[in-house]
Amino acid sequence: MSYGIKSYVIRAGRMSVAQRRSYETLGPDFSVPFAEGLLDFNSVFGSHNPVTLEIGFGMGIATAEIAEENPDKNYLGVEVHKPGIGRLLWEIEKRGLTNIRIIEYDAVEVLGKMIPPSSLAAFHIFFPDPWPKKRHHKRRLITRPFTETLVEKLLPGGYVYMVTDWAEYGEWALAELSGTPGLRNPYDGFAPPQAWRPQTKFERKGLDKHHEVRELFFLKEKGE
């Protein structure tokens, strides 16, 4: 499945010595190669625990913290930024985590070709690129029909949790998710902060610039 426009750009970034070492030595153990075939999560993780897919985990520190706090859940991170992948692999090793796997590829293609229908417990989408210029709005990830793909991949009762520090994108995403069949907002508009989500360095920088954080939490209807 492809919508013809990528929602990201691969920005230049140097890998530290530790990130490169982790990328090269740990990657084979915790990475899942992109392939045009549906994943068997039980084989990928070696357990039947529920799977959360995170789109764009950045440097991966929050991902590692959440996974460490929830050893009974599995986390599949999709990212294209090599320094971030290296950092998450370093965190995996430091914390002794076994419940994270990584796919280094375009998340839209991963969802379309690798993720079975009704297989995920949740989506985490923290601080996606807001594409603030109006001519770039078509590149935004949280837009229909992509949001309909999220519904298709979720188990009934599963959730989509998005956080942005770009207020206008938050309004946009609220409208798009609210208009997506099969999703229900348990809150009156934006969600309150979820206490279990760690605050990221990126988020703190945004708050220092007086950005307004918007949280969105939608459930897949159990009848879907």
Instruction: Flag whether 15 is in a domain.
Output: no
> Would you state the pLDDT for residue 204?
80
Domain count, the chain: 1
Q: What is the CATH number of the domain that holds 132?
A: 3.40.50.150
Q: In this predicted model, what pLDDT tens digit does every residue of 123-159 receive, in sequence order?
A: 999 999 986 888 868 889 999 999 999 999 999 999 9
Catalytic residue among 40, 72, 129, 188: 129
Structural domain boundaries enclosing 122:
30-220
Instruction: Flag whether 211 is in a domain.
Output: yes
Q: Rounded to whole angstroms, how far apart are CA atoms 179 and 222? A: 17
Binding residues: 54, 79, 106, 129, 133, 165, 200-203
Cite the DSSP H helix spans in 121-179.
146-153, 167-178
> Would you state the pLDDT for residue 10?
59
> Would you state the pLDDT for residue 224?
55
Q: Let me know if 129 is a catalytic residue.
A: yes
Q: In this predicted model, what pLDDT tens digit does every residue of 27-78 receive, in sequence order?
A: 999 999 999 999 999 999 999 999 999 999 999 999 999 999 999 999 999 9
Q: Tokens 């529920």: give the residue.
A: 50
> Would you state the pLDDT for residue 6?
59
> Would you state the pLDDT for residue 134?
82
Q: In this predicted model, what pLDDT tens digit does every residue of 179-220 receive, in sequence order?
A: 999 999 999 999 999 999 998 877 887 777 778 899 999 999
Going by DSSP bridges, is the β-strand pair 100-103/74-78 parallel, antiparallel, or unpaired?
A: parallel
**Phi and psi angles of residue 2, each rounded to the nearest 5 degrees, phi first:** -145, 140
Instruction: Flag whether 17 is in a domain.
Output: no
End-to-end CA distance of the chain: 21
Instruction: Flag whether 16 is in a domain.
Output: no
Binding residues for substrate: 133, 165, 200-203
Q: Which two tokens stand for residue 133?
A: 């210029």
Per DSSP (E only), the strands in the chain are 51-55, 74-78, 100-103, 120-126, 154-164, 183-184, 214-220
